[in-house]
Chain A
């Protein structure tokens, strides 16, 4: 065990000098990676994970100042000459990046982009290079390996692009592979196939892998050991099983308990735990305290005056905390019971019938004649739903499945081509412009990106009082008073009213957006990926806020998300949509347990589970959601269905089957319910 580790990072610090002040992105990061193991680095955004990864590549802006040491096979990276560093990059250390679409050169064929690394570092002739590229494409599971190299990046899906990036990284059999959030931004089904590939690399290549991610489920799936980072420090390091079973740092423990549990059978009976506050500001430079102290339930006077050092606590485990022996499951409070709403009958507030929408128009080659050259995208196809009062309807599906279009049709931001919406039995106009003020205030929306949806030039106050003045007809002073109470209700200090959105963090901005939606006292709030861009600790805060408000006021939520853990936590009913069609719809625990539609089944098996002992379900979906321009000749899911039957799925639209014993649960599939149950058992 005494052999030199492949990569050894000791007390790394990285400081950026910007015109607006110094930012210490990394302050005390220490970890090691050995050959043949995967070290996961996990933490929220702004914790210095990516900066650390790029520091290992020796790739930081010239204005950055680094301290500590990074040694690769005993050699310090910072002491290498430019030539030596080039010899290392792409050859001995290779990297896979977060966003494959922008990380590939858009005007160069992908085969050439992969060849470039080979010709730079290996001494092969043209035929050998060509063979090597095909071999690499095969090893990362790309189809049609002979021809795919002639394609440009934009001709490939996101998942295929990431496979190309991985092929490029593997080209010279690197000793160290750095993967920086390689699946973030991909659909959960694509993510699962990429994670399978990464897991198989562990067996195939004799390299050390440094895997950076914010997703605990992904870490549990791929990592052997984990380093947790907070505010630029490594705060805990241990093997993956111990970390998930008994975290020793309060931050790790908090992170693990504020992630909604993965989909499974049964109702979620206890509330999410919450880490208060936000990630420590990186602009502070002199630190003489534990950086986590202000958010930590265990903090005492020692924590605020002395900075803790990493200490060994057993084999290969380290933690940066004075009170690591006191961290236990109840550190972040005991289990808070949730009130079950399962059997509470409630009246329907909103009904949608046959909602259909198309983007674009049919165009023929010669005006009104000739073959079609452009068909409309059938984004929604006869969607029916019912929204019970005081409950939450979750809508899930991959990107491009029509979730957001449905949300926009409900709010009236797109004019549905067909179908009707009824609010409390009264017909709603299809477009928001034509709806009455009452109808407008009854349905409000919270968007995914709070930074983009708040007017950057308006103070928070002015954003909020507009709805009071307009919808409640209050005067300015009354509106300001109401705005102040509203701010307190969403957990923000009323002094924030005088600030601009840019002076708030992402989580605070989303609270303001939620406050704005509540300002009209709505019956229904449509949340379109409202927590997707937030860090898990902030996400838990926002989800709890929404939950509290709903219990107090009895609003209904339409909650759109791609995160099945979140949807299970918030929803009473779940609608699974695919290619603009309802695949499955029903009470959430029924939808998330067997029998399910094959699409639901595939989505569920793709979710990475934050438990390293969980066996991954091997069911995978290949390809992507169809463009929905052509009319489906058979089932909408036939092209990707892992459970497809002979012929009938290609020729006939599937029937709507009710589950015996639960009339509200429907599955839109040809396979008989009892057969589905049998296959999925």
Chain B
């Protein structure tokens, strides 16, 4: 571990290795951090991707439905429901889902521990409850965002122009409302990728899901500074990358911020 060397030297060596993709050894267990991250990151990515693929289209659809018919019964239900989902923390939603679907009904396993040799794709049932938990909060958040943006755009002068061109409501919504309402919404979604990784840590812990989040918790439990530092670094990098993608996406969608030649 080189504890006999000067801290500055050890730090420069660590940095040198870290930027080359070598995060060093974990304090316990004798495995390299690289291999631990490598085995768990895909699991987290899978969980996130599935949650995303479910939450984004459905929540956008629901948000647009609610936004185009403000103050109707459907809108009220979706708005109040999403407010509830946002205000309940993930670990409570997770536990409630576990009680209902795992303990009472027994449809899905309550924990996602993998036995040696098992893969997640081999037993997809363990994905269901963690995914649902993450989807809940994400769905509510995107829905509210999409709804608010759709309502704002619906009241804009250019939508009035479109209606008074004689276009049908369907054309107005699809050609004029959605593209403009989606610009800020999609940016928020992309920003949420980073935020979602925070949520994933908790959810992975609740379901003992073998991802990067539970690795982080494990590092805290074991007071393994190196592992903690490295997992935090990986999560931060994902966060930063997601934000960059969000900004680039915004530029791509919005002609006003595109840089001219």
The winner among B158, B168, B253 for most chain A CB atoms within 10 A is B158
Which residues of B, 120-171, contact A by the 8 Å Cβ criterion?
156-158, 160-168, 171
- Determine if B162 and A91 form an interchain contact, defined as CB atoms under 8 angstroms apart: no
**Pairwise interchain contact A107-B164, C-beta atoms closer than 8 A:** no
B161 CB contacts on chain A under 8 angstroms:
97, 103-105, 165, 168
CB contact between B166 and one of A90, A99, A152 (< 8 Å): that residue: A90
Residue among B253, B254, B255 having the largest count of chain A Cβ atoms under 10 Å: B255
A676 interfacial contact with B, CB 8 Å? no
B 164-190 contacts with A by CB, 8 A: 164-168, 171, 175-176, 179-180, 183
Does B165 contact A106, Cβ atoms closer than 8 Å?
no
Residue on B with the closest CB to A102? B157
Shortest B152–chain A CB gap in Å is: 12
Docked CA distance A91–B166 (Å): 7
- A102-B158, A105-B176 are known contacts. Are A121 and B256 too (CB-CB below 8 A)? no
- Near B by CB (< 8 A), chain A positions 42-95 give 57, 59, 86-91, 94-95
Number of interface residues of A (CB under 8 A): 27
Is A335 an interface residue when CB atoms closer than 8 A count as contact? no
A646 to chain B, nearest CB (A): 33
Measured between beta carbons, the chain A residues less than 8 angstroms from B168 are: 86
Contact A154 B256 (CB under 8 A): yes
A59 touches B163 (CB 8 A): yes
For residue A125, give the distance in angstroms from its CB to the closest CB of chain B.
19
A108 at the interface (CB under 8 A from B): yes
Chain B residues, CB < 8 A from A103:
157-158, 160-161
A117 to chain B, nearest CB (A): 5
Interface residue A120 (Cβ < 8 Å from any Cβ of B): yes
Asked if residues B166 and A86 are in contact (CB atoms below 8 Å), the reply is yes
Q: Is the CB of B163 within 8 A of A107?
A: no
Q: Enumerate chain A residues within 8 angstroms of B253, measured Cβ to Cβ.
A: 107
CB contact under 8 A between A99 and B167, given known A107-B180, A152-B256, A154-B256: no
Do A116 and B158 touch across chains, with their CB atoms under 8 A apart? Answer: no
How near does chain B come to A56, taking the closest CB pair, in angstroms? 11
**How many angstroms from the CA of A102 to the CA of B157 in the assembled complex?**
6
Give B174 Cβ to nearest chain A Cβ, in Å: 12
CB distance from B24 to the nearest CB of A (A): 36
Residue of B nearest to A93 (CB): B164
Residues B164 and A120 in contact, CB atoms below 8 Å apart: no
Chain B nearest CB from A112 CB (Å) reads: 9
A89 engages B164 (CB within 8 Å)? yes
Interface residues in A132-159 by Cβ distance below 8 A to B read 152, 154
Contact of B175 among A57, A59, A99, A108 (CB under 8 A): A108
Q: Is the CB of B165 within 8 A of A117?
A: yes
Q: Is the CB of B180 within 8 A of A121?
A: no
Instruction: Using CB atoms, name the residue of chain B closest to A96.
Output: B161
A86, B171: Cα distance in complex, Å: 12
Contact for B164 among A87, A95, A104, A105, CB less than 8 A? A95
Residue of A nearest to B182 (CB): A107
CB neighbours (8 Å) of A88 from chain B are 166
On whether the beta carbons of B167 and A116 are closer than 8 Å, the reply is yes
Whether the Cβ atoms of B255 and A107 lie closer than 8 Å is yes
For B153, give the chain A residue with the smallest CB separation. A105
* A168 partner, pick from B157, B163, B165, beta carbons under 8 A: B165
A interface residue numbers (CB < 8 A to B): 57, 59, 86-91, 94-95, 97, 99, 102-108, 116-117, 120-121, 152, 154, 165, 168
| Contacts A/B (CB < 8 Å), 6 sampled | A86-B166, A88-B166, A105-B180, A108-B175, A108-B176, A116-B162
What 4 A-B pairs are tightest by C-beta distance, nearest first? A90-B166, A90-B165, A89-B166, A102-B157
